[in-house]
Amino acid sequence: MFTNLTTTPVTRRQLLLGGATLGAAGLLSACVGSPRQQGGSGASGGTGTVTLQSSIQDADPKAALEALVAGYTGAKVTLNSVATEQFRAQLTNYLRSSNPPDVLTWYAGSVARAYAAEGLLLDVSPLWKGDGACAGYSDALRNLSTDADGKQIFVPQNYYWWSVFYKKSAFQEWGVQPPTTWDEFHALCENLSGQGVAPLANGIGSTPWMASGWFDYLDLRINGAQYHRELLAGEHSFTDPQVVDVMEEYRRLIPYFDRNMASYSAQEAATPVAQNQVAMYLVGAFATGYFPEDQREDLDFFSVPVINDSVPTAEEAPTDGFFAAARTDNPEGALDLLSYLVSPEAQQQYIEASKSSNLPTSPDVDTSSFSPLVQKGIQLLNETQEITQFFNRDSSDALQATADTALTRFLAQPDDLRSILEEWQRAAEGVFSS
Amino acid sequence: MSAALADVEPEVAPGRPPEPRRRRRGRVPLLVWVFLLVPLVVELFWVFWPAGNSFSLALTRWDGIGAAEPVGLQNFLDLAADPIFRTALVNNVVWAVGFGGLSVVVGLSLAVALNKPGPLVGLYRSAIYLPMVVSLAVTGLFWRVMYQPGGPVNAALEVVGLGSLQRQWLADPEVALGAVLVAAVWRQVGYIMVLYLAGLKSCDATLEEAAAVDGAGAWQRFWRIVMPQLRGVNMVVFAVTVIDSLRTFDIVWAMTRGGPYNETQLLSTYMFQQAFTTGNLGYASAIAVVIFALAIGFIITYLARQARTED
């Protein structure tokens, strides 16, 4: 409201109108909040009512989660869907409120640990012990879901891999093969450019974080996962020679990108690939859902080739799932809902209904019926030595914003590299100090 | 503002004897006071109190939930060194001049052109006014489609042989702000045109005829005869334009979100981003204070000038 007053000389009538709007908003939110409060007060006996706050917005996964929740019989679940960007901005508020949503969707890794460090997340280690729902999960997932104190605070539900996706039929048409070395990759890009095909797709317009995909992979291939994690934790400077090496390698790719990438979102960038105008797309497996249904069989992928063979192999495999608020008034209900949501049956149902290529976290899900593409993804992740999440998940949403500015500017003005990195470091220091 | 003026009033009329005024006040029914008090309380609580808070918040670092940590004038020092803030400030000036200038020039020209009776004039007027009924956010979404890489704007340039002018309109920092400006002006022009049309209707046609008889050219007649009669409308248009340009937020947010890499950030979008995306409410309040200072400075200058010309 104060924005209104300070930006414009408003009339008295407008002010009153604004006041009335705010009042109405307050009433509305009171209405939204009330069912949960009733449920909470009646929760002492059974598992009562549980609120699930979801940031999932893509149509199929959203419907899949709704179907999953509808099948839960343990308690009455109130499912609130919030637009992802708003959810991100409000997440701290949700967790800190005195009457928080009980269970929330979000991401594993540093981003969840940061909330745990503030004491905002419920200890879910009962689910990871004995015959708990997560007891049989891989050690990698267990580590990913464990906070600095050694207790589990996250319940992973599915994950996916990043790779360079392409259409088999298009590669055949252009007479090219997926590359196995970095030199072959460059030769392939040259070849495709010569044929009038843009080699690399990307969409950094309304989804500027997509620019971090190549940054992450080049850093993983040149400096390795260890250095990458330390860099994102603030232990190295973005002006380091190691980062300059990464950016120089990135600069070599710039001529190969779709020249419209700055106008596209991640989803729009898939369209020219589907139309055989652009050849390859480094993106998460969720992107298979961006392609027309009759093209999904045609999709294949290869991992970004090795650049420096002295660093361990690494892949990005972001893990999605749930955590619960520490201040929930119904911890038993929250744990019970979490157990249900990540049970093998629920995971299988969710993945099939969401029509994505995401992988189940539970080892008990029968993956034999999943598509060959997904089988290949599982194999890729099983064979790699290191797994990272993604820039924002390995650091924080605030650091991601600094990367968005730096990398999108770099892609437009690569000659300003020095000043861009200095500006990036300044912004990152601001994030780490706050 | 109105409260301040009411306070001043007794001093402007000191010569009046106090006796009859007290009697008049006594005659005001209680109900009227209640009617006045209720909005006053609402306004104080919902507007002035939060607005006052934004001043004190500007001196703190606050994430919106925990305790605010006082940092003195540090936020303002940070602002002075913040390159994005400087970009936003410059963009705001460009926006105010471009938005105001373009919409007034085009709106006035259209009003003059469509003030004459002719075939389909009503249709033209409605067509030009039509964008005004669309909200700014929808205008932004609509123009985003127009500006897409393979969208109508680039396609039209290709067809008329100006393919070399094709751009990534919203992704190229050199043209992005201009592209948003065009969309905003497209919507505003119809409004300004209607205001001027109303003004032109109330102009005395006989004065213009007399001037024509005296041998004044069309240009002279417009500037010497018509424009002075439009003074009242000019003031309204000026106020509307300035207010609209200062409060611009929605169309920029819908079209570019301040991108690419903060090059189309306005003070309002940067403030919103700092407050509600990054969660720096103290820093955002400092930006709000700057916007307030600019707006107030502008209003005071404007009122002072008005007062002078009326004297």
CATH number for the domain including B262? 1.10.3720.10
User: Are B40 and B150 in the same domain?
Assistant: no
R_g of chain A, CA atoms, integer Å: 23
Inside any domain, residue B61: no
Residues A358 and A356: their CA atoms lie apart, in Å, by 5
Interface membership of B67 toward A (CB under 8 Å): no
CB contact under 8 A, A22 and B46: yes
Interface membership of B43 toward A (CB under 8 Å): yes
Inside any domain, residue B1: no
User: Are B174 and B299 in the same domain?
Assistant: yes
Spell out the per-residue pLDDT of chain B, length 311, in tens.
444 444 444 444 444 555 555 555 568 888 999 999 999 999 999 988 988 888 999 999 887 667 788 998 999 999 998 889 999 999 999 999 999 999 999 999 999 988 888 888 888 888 888 888 888 889 999 999 999 888 899 899 989 988 888 888 888 888 899 999 999 999 999 999 999 999 998 888 888 889 889 888 888 888 888 888 888 888 888 888 888 887 889 999 988 888 788 889 999 999 998 887 777 889 999 999 998 888 888 778 877 887 887 66
User: Are B23 and B86 in the same domain?
Assistant: no
CB-side neighbour CA atoms (13 Å) of A172:
6
Averaged over A316-324, what is the pLDDT? 93
Averaged over A352-366, what is the pLDDT? 86
Structure tokens at B301: 């200058």
Residues A302 and A373: their CA atoms lie apart, in Å, by 11
Burial of A381 from C-beta contacts in 10 A (0-12 / 13-18 / 19+): middle
Residues B193 and B185: their CA atoms lie apart, in Å, by 12
Residue B107 distance to chain A (closest CA, Å): 23
Please give the torsion angle defined by the CA atoms of residues A32, A37, A38 and A42, in that order, rounded to the nearest 10 degrees. 150
User: Are B183 and B241 in the same domain?
Assistant: yes
Q: Which residues of A touch B168 (CB under 8 A)?
A: 259-260, 262-263
State the best of A96, A263, A413, A425 to mutate against chain B, taking most chain B CBs within 10 Å. A263
Inside any domain, residue B11: no
List alpha helices for A264-317, DSSP H: 270-274
User: Are B34 and B89 in the same domain?
Assistant: no
Please give the single-letter amino acid code of residue B88.
A
Cβ within 8 Å of B, A 289-318: none
Residues B139 and B132: their CA atoms lie apart, in Å, by 9
Residues B268 and B250: their CA atoms lie apart, in Å, by 9
Q: Which residues of A touch B276 (CB under 8 A)?
A: 89
Interface membership of A12 toward B (CB under 8 Å): yes
Q: Does residue A45 carry a pLDDT above 50? A: no
Closest CA to B288 of B74, B3, B96, B56: B56
Interface membership of A396 toward B (CB under 8 Å): no
Residue partners of B97: CB distance under 8 A and separation at least 6: none
User: Are B25 and B155 in the same domain?
Assistant: no
User: Are B26 and B112 in the same domain?
Assistant: no
Domains annotated on chain A, with CATH? 41-159+319-364 (3.40.190.10), 162-316+377-433 (3.40.190.10)
Inside any domain, residue B2: no
Inside any domain, residue B66: no
Say how many C-beta atoms besides its own lie within 10 A of residue A427's C-beta.
18
Structure-model confidence comparison of residues B8 and A172, the more confident one: A172
Q: Which residue of B has its CA nearest to A89?
A: B277
Inside any domain, residue B178: yes
Ranges A2-6, A56-60, A272-276, A278-282: which has the least confidence: A2-6
Residue-wise pLDDT for A211-228, tens only, equals 999 999 999 999 999 999
Q: Which residues of A touch B271 (CB under 8 A)?
A: 3
Q: Which residue of A has its CA nearest to B299?
A: A9
Q: Which residue of B has its CA nearest to A96?
A: B65
CB pairs under 8 A between A and B: 116
Closest CB from A1, A6, A92 relative to B65: A92
Q: What's the pLDDT score for residue B19?
A: 52
CB-side neighbour CA atoms (13 Å) of A9:
17
Please give the single-letter amino acid code of residue B17.
P
Inside any domain, residue B84: yes
Give me the interface pTM, i.e. the ipTM.
0.72
Q: Which residues of A touch B295 (CB under 8 A)?
A: 6-9
User: Are B169 and B31 in the same domain?
Assistant: no
State the best of B5, B44, B46, B143 to mutate against chain A, taking most chain A CBs within 10 Å. B46
User: Are B102 and B198 in the same domain?
Assistant: yes
The pairs formed by A63-71 with CB atoms below 8 angstroms and a separation of 24 or more are A63/A353, A63/A354, A64/A349, A64/A350, A64/A351, A64/A352, A64/A353, A64/A354, A65/A105, A65/A350, A65/A354, A67/A349, A67/A353, A68/A341, A68/A346, A68/A349, A68/A350, A68/A353, A71/A346, A71/A349
Please give the single-letter amino acid code of residue A374.
V
Q: Which residues of A touch B47 (CB under 8 A)?
A: 1-2, 5, 15, 18-19
Q: What's the pLDDT score for residue B303?
A: 79
Residue A70 distance to chain B (closest CA, Å): 32
User: Are B186 and B116 in the same domain?
Assistant: yes
Residue A395 near residue A233 (C-beta atoms within 8 A) = yes
- Tell me which DSSP letter residue A180 carries: S
Q: Which residue of A has its CA nearest to B249?
A: A7
Q: What's the pLDDT score for residue B244?
A: 83
State the best of B41, B55, B261 to mutate against chain A, taking most chain A CBs within 10 Å. B261
Sign of the CA dihedral running B266, B267, B273, B276: negative
Could you list the residue range(s) of the whole structural domain that residue B27 is in? Answer: 18-49
Residues linked to residue A278 through DSSP beta bridges, in sequence order: A198
Strands (E), A127-256: 155-159, 162-167, 198-201
Please give the single-letter amino acid code of residue A202.
N
Strands (E), A299-348: 299-302, 314-316, 319-324
Inside any domain, residue B22: yes
Closest CA to A392 of A116, A111, A148: A111
User: Are B252 and B120 in the same domain?
Assistant: yes
Closest CA to A387 of A192, A181, A159: A159
Q: Which residues of B touch A12 (CB under 8 A)?
A: 2, 39, 43
Residue A55 distance to chain B (closest CA, Å): 15
Q: SS3 of A68, please?
A: helix
Residue A89 host element (H or E)? helix A84-96
Residues A112 and A104: their CA atoms lie apart, in Å, by 11
The count of domains in chain B is 2
User: Are B32 and B98 in the same domain?
Assistant: no
Interface membership of A93 toward B (CB under 8 Å): yes
pTM for this one? 0.78
Measured N-to-C along each axis, helices B173-201 and B231-246 cross at an angle, to the nearest 10 degrees, of 150
Alpha-carbon distances, residue A380 vs A208, A272, A374, A394, B254 (angstroms) = 27, 26, 10, 20, 39
